[in-house]
Structure 1
Amino acid sequence: MKTGFYHKVLSGLALAGAVLAPVAPAHAENLETEFDKAFIASPQQPAASASQPPQLQASRVQPKVLPAAQTTKRTPPASVRPYVSQRSQRSYGGELNSQVASLADDGNGRIGVAAIDLTTGQTVSVLGDTPFPLASTSKIAIAATFLEGVDQGRFSLDAQYPLMVPVKSARFSGFAAPVRPGAMLTGRQLIERSLIHSDNQATDALLAVVGGPAAVNRWIRTTGISGFRIDRDIATLVRDDGEYNPAQMIDERDSATPMAMAQLLVGLYEGRWLSTSSRGFLIATMERCLTGKRRLRGQLPSDARVAHKTGTLNNTASDVGIVRGPNGHVYAVAIYVTGQGGHAGRDAKIAAISRVIYDGYVGPDVGTYASAQR
């Protein structure tokens, strides 16, 4: 049931006298904010405020900082390149695509959008073939890889696995950020914490069980989808966040094109790669997502059903999911936004694009719009 990678992680992580991580998940909005702000402050002075829940503060008390591997400016790897706008050379056919393209202007930070209507097959794409930071939207693929293992009898939703708790280390001080085993949770609890609360420790627990990023990439290849890759666990991704500005640079590490994500969502929703029970559990859990209330759902009608996952890193925000209108119309959408002047600007851009796509696919008059959502 446990892979060699998983045994290696556990054998190398135990620290004498380490305190187990708390079982109760942090409040969703605080956790998503934590993922957005992680390591922006000095690594030697992690931020912890009285407004944070006690368990979140406790998880930030870490052992001594490990020495940095290098102190000079790092040479960008081959996977990193400047973003060069080609919007003046692009044409967007169709009224809906043109409307989305007008909202997704890259003058204040590049924006990628892809949507697929599951009824008609109509697609929307603006920079849909350009890599964007996955951030926490990668958690969908990680959960799906685990669920495939459940379907094959290699893992179990009822078996218990340890959380992976970050150990404080300097940025870029190693290929992978150090972690230690924490509290034991069932596979079901880990997926719920990962997708509902965007819990990083639960996600890295799932990642350790399946065999690391390489195992997720292997599963992605079996789907036939290209333009999607995971290179690091979440602990490393957060620790080394902010090295490159995603509004100006394209980093192919831990990235996906919006179209690749939309295709992944369509396949999962249609049950192409998972059993009926695993597919149902995944979609139902995504419908309970508590983060990103002002993003994909922000301007949608209150009776639209949204199964989604948000992502947040330095100067980037995203929301991807399956939307079902009250008339039964279903579509997949992936929106990745950088820049836009700050967190609120990125959220507002995602919400506005989401509403235009909903109106184009489902209809502007279908659904009940609450006044607070306008």
Structure 2
Amino acid sequence: MSGRVPGGGPERSIRGAFADAQVTGWLHAVDIDSGAEVAVEAESLVSTASVHKLCLAVTVQRLADAGRLDPTERLETAVAGRTAGLTGLAMLRDPVTMSVRDLLALALTVSDNASADVLFERIGLHTVNTAMRQLGLRKTVAVHTTRQLIDSITEDCDGDESLLHLDPGVLTRLRVLDPLRTNRSTPREMTSLLGALWRDEACSPERAEELRRILSLQVWPHRLVSGFPFDDVRVAGKTGTLPTLRSEVGVVDYPDGGRYAVAVFTRAARTAVRQPAADAVIGTSARIAVDHLRALRPPA
């Protein structure tokens, strides 16, 4: 069975879950093999934040397939000018030399900003955008590196990021919250990219499997994974976070062979750093969508 799931059941429940969590939400979920889907504002442009590291990763693998990049190439990351962050190289205090493939693993599993920017600088934003266009993703665009994204927040806060929590009006100035001025995509295009990766279409089967493995090792269990608390269900994904924004895109693999690409993006009115309800609704809404898609599968 294929085709769009009509409005009503799952879409109404998903919108209700978003409302209960006090967020605005955008979602697309698709059965990778049948094409059946659930969509809630799935064509809307959204700010991708660190979700765009998935686009970077696919591009790196495609370059390796073409012989234009050696995954074992070692790149030096000095301390001076290293992109800030809370994980990976971003938190280290000394120079580090790592291979392209290990930098990629850190960028995906712990969302390391510094590792991602070493790779962005190595291949160029234009190369990532070209790869996305080649895959048919016309609305998926990288505007800036992670460092540039972080710097733009500081600039838009006039150098004082504490204003984000004191003056809600500051949010209206943040370029990173405006999909027309920052790294962007749509929920549908993100699931399209995931589907291509899981079908070995985004890059060679060997390199696609490597990315699927790395994405399954992501350390954050509080978003997409929270909706599928089963030992025999595998979830592989990539999160994104900015002030008021929480998101994750990923694939849910069931032991019976069912596999579902899901992209959930949310925006809250509050600027608090910790928003457990906004995190949890990503898993909740994904579960509603996937349960509905599984109900459409023919009996084994």
Shorter-chain TM-score above 0.5: yes
Of residues 157, 160, 181, the one that matches 2:71 is 157
Contact 1:300 1:358 in 2 (8 A): no
Is the deviation greater in 192-201 or in 117-126?
117-126
Q: Which amino acid aligns with 2:226?
A: G
Query: 1:128: Cα distance to partner?
Result: 0.9
- The residue number in structure 2 matching 1:327 is 256
- The residue number in structure 2 matching 1:339 is 268
Secondary structure of the residue aligned to 1:309 is strand
Secondary structure of the residue aligned to 1:241 is helix
Of residues 103, 117, 142, the one that matches 1:190 is 103
Gaps of 5+ in 2: 84-93, 157-170, 296-300
Contact 1:317 1:336 in 2 (8 A): yes
Q: 1:106 to 1:256 in 2, by over 3 A?
A: farther
Deviations 1:175-231 (A, max 9, x none): xxxxxx942100111111011111111101111111x21111111010111221111
Gaps of 5+ in 1: 1-90, 170-180, 364-374
Aligned length: 258
Percent of aligned positions with the same letter in both sequences? 26
Secondary structure of the residue aligned to 2:7 is coil
Matched, 1:315 2:244: yes
- The residue number in structure 2 matching 1:117 is 31
Of residues 271, 282, 300, the one that matches 1:350 is 282
Secondary structure of the residue aligned to 1:167 is coil
Q: Which amino acid aligns with 2:139?
A: G
- The residue number in structure 2 matching 1:283 is 212
Deviations 1:120-160 (A, max 9, x none): 21111111111111111101110111111111111111110
Secondary structure of the residue aligned to 2:224 is coil
Contact 1:164 1:201 in 2 (8 A): no
* RMSD of aligned Cα (Å): 2.5
Contact 1:340 1:346 in 2 (8 A): no
Rg (Cα) greater in structure: 1
- 1-side partners of 2:118 and 2:110: how far apart? 15
Contact 2:37 2:293 in 1 (8 A): no
- The residue number in structure 2 matching 1:296 is 224
TM-score when normalising by structure 1: 0.64
Q: 1:183 to 1:329 in 2, by over 3 A?
A: same
- 2-side partners of 1:225 and 1:354: how far apart? 22
- The residue number in structure 2 matching 1:11 is none
Deviations 1:49-85 (A, max 9, x none): xxxxxxxxxxxxxxxxxxxxxxxxxxxxxxxxxxxxx
Q: 1:310 to 1:182 in 2, by over 3 A?
A: same
Higher helix share: 2
Task: Report 1:1-374 matches (<5 A).
Answer: 93-105=7-19, 108-163=22-77, 167=81, 182-210=95-123, 212-241=124-153, 243=156, 244-245=171-172, 250-252=178-180, 253-291=182-220, 293-302=221-230, 303-339=232-268, 341=270, 342=272, 343-362=275-294
Contact 1:164 1:204 in 2 (8 A): no
Deviations 1:300-327 (A, max 9, x none): 1322101100111111011110111122
Q: Which amino acid aligns with 2:38?
A: V
